[in-house]
Structure 1
Amino acid sequence: MDAEVEAGVREHLQAGEAVRSAVWVSRADGRTEAGLSRAELSPFRFRRIRPDRPGDRRGLHGVPASLAVGLDEHIRTVNDPRVLALTGQRLLLLAKRGLFRRSARELRLLWQSPRTALRTATDQGNGRLRLDFTDGSAVVLLTPVAGLPAFLDA
């Protein structure tokens, strides 16, 4: 975790709370490496419009009101990564401030949950972090491979 990110996370901590670890997270953009599929080129693709509802994304398991879905609503693709921070009491998701928004704080808090709500955090390989919550929901996030071991050890 670099010093700038750690300082940004520290601004959102409560009294007596300390940062244990933080890692950049994002989601896969959902594209295949092969480019367009035959289904995407077909004129019939417009017949059934599937809404993009919470819980429909690959790597996300849980009902719409679950912790994993709540977290996933704030995760973006690798072009706009978020900071997932772990403290003694909470799991926090923070984002960089917009380019044209001036603020004393570099990061803004988007989502939080009690640390006790996080059951496990496991490495799925290739920089994929799986978070399992006590409500039975789970989400898989992309992370830099180098930052993952420190987050898992915290």
Structure 2
Amino acid sequence: MKEYKLKINNNSYNVVIKDVTDDAVLAEVNGKQHIVNIDTIENFTAVADSKARAPISAMPSASPAAPMASPPASATAGSGAILTPIPGQIISITVSLGEQVRTGQKLLVLEAMKLENSITATIDGTVSEILIAEGDVVNQGQPLIILT
């Protein structure tokens, strides 16, 4: 475990590197855990121990994100399931059950990394399920709303 004190754009960060694998880093930044996926790093070798290791995504996290439940049967690919593009917190839901929506219409606002992101409809349809509530913390790929 390595600890760093970093300053980025005059903001101070306490970073603890908890684990490193070939494709991800488990880091705690100012007390909050994050999984950082690695695409490529030059001159980097992950230190492996003699025991087989679980991928970081399988490790317990202190993050407030709830574990992802199995998606409902209606949330299969091509079904109109609106999935979380990035982990974050639901700030507001702008549609209701039974509402007709058009492609590109805002469905909800997701806060991620202190930025508000509008999540929009990918197809025309009717809101048949709302699987989250305002204030929920969601994982990447988690079904949010089902359109039929």
TM-score with structure 1 setting the length = 0.28
Computing the radius of gyration from Cα coordinates, the structure with the larger value is 2
Going by fraction, where is helix more abundant, 1 or 2? 1
Larger fraction in strand: 2
Greater relative CO (CA pairs within 8 A, separation 6+): 1
